[in-house]
Amino acid sequence: MTENRKKEKLVIIGGGPAGLSAAIYAARAGLDPVVINGPEPGGQITTTSELENYPGFPGGIGGFDLMQKVTEQALSFDARLEYEIVEKVDFKKREFLIDTDMTNYQAEAVIIATGAEPRMLGLDRENELRGSGISYCATCDGAFFRNKEIAIVGGGDTALWEATFLTKFASKVYLLHRRDEFRGTKILGDRVKANEKIEILWNTEIKELTGENKLSGINVENNKTNEAYHIDLSGVFIAIGHKPRSGLFKDFIDIDQGGYIITDAKQQTSLAGVYAAGDVQDDVYRQVITAAASGAKAAMQIEKYFASVE
């Protein structure tokens, strides 16, 4: 089957900040990279937040706008972007095999930048009601809840930022957190506490989602007092973190207990020629700036890798 394979020097799997930054560096270095954009072109940041802390944009920049600029920049250096989804890889031999829904590739080196996806609460009917009241993306779905009462679950920066964002639309936002202090930063927490449209429900967990074909409410319980009650609402946003998209690679490279790809300080995985960058290998920082930096590092290391094997 090898004869049907498209031979590439460098395949970058994932088109978020890490993958596209790697593409910019690799393309400028003449490595002629192809980026397999995957299911979420531009990455999570295109749907989740407004960036207030990305250097160079003092007034902030939308995640989607930023990634459009990064994409343009990668294309301007002749990086190739393919809107395909990787279904299978085989890294047993040095010519790394990558099969997408459209093309079979064979690469001399690979950068994995597949990112992460939202964690689910694991409630009965959570999947069934996704898109009918349950959402994992405030930026995408917030506007559907104009003048409605909604809830958001989580206590990290995402939940705090999204709770405030959602008050632009909703008449009331319940913020449900399972503990009695936020994990997220103080500045975002203080903003939430000061917002009159937000009611914080500490130590509170959802036990059941109610409603026929669409969500109409939640049964909740206070995990300290065991008080259980019902809240009528139209939407629940779940913002409880993400899990790395590393499943395709687990048989070939080392992955930690949380599913994150293990890399050294130079972004190299346990397999020579395979590098990883961005949220798929970062359980600590998970910022656009750190993802982009790790993508740049991976591409620079690959230049050195080629020099060492040629």
Residue nearest to ligand NDP (CB): 156
Between CA 7 and CA 293 the distance in angstroms is 27
In angstroms, give the least distance from the CB of 105 to ligand NDP.
31
Torsional class of 226: left (φ above 0), alpha (ψ -120 to 50), beta (otherwise):
left
Q: Which is nearer to ligand NDP, 104 or 203 (CB)?
A: 203
Residue 101 in contact with residue 39, Cβ under 8 Å? no
Tell me the sheet residues that pair with 89: 98
User: In angstroms, what is the minimal distance from the CB of 54 to ligand NDP?
Assistant: 9
CB closer to ligand NDP out of 21 and 158: 158
Buried-exposed string 185-212: b where 16+ CB fall within 10 A, e elsewhere: eeebbeebeebeebebbbebbbeebbbe
Query: CB-wise, 155 or 235, nearer to ligand NDP?
Result: 155
Q: Which two tokens stand for residue 281?
A: 């290998």
Catalytic member of 140, 190, 232, 254: 140
When the beta carbons of 29 and 121 are compared against ligand NDP, the nearer one is 121
Token pair, residue 199, equals: 């009611």
User: Least Å distance between CB 204 and ligand NDP?
Assistant: 9
- Minimum CB distance to ligand NDP, residue 53 (Å): 5
CA distances from 28 to 268, 300, 302 (A): 20, 10, 13
Would residue 140 show up in a list of annotated catalytic residues for this protein? Answer: yes
Residues in the chain, total = 310
Confirm whether 90 is a catalytic residue. Answer: no
141 noted as active-site residue: yes
Footprint on this chain of ligand NDP (rule: CB under 6 A): 49, 53, 121, 153-159, 161, 178-179, 183-184, 239-241, 286
Question: Which residues are catalytic, by number?
Answer: 137, 140-141
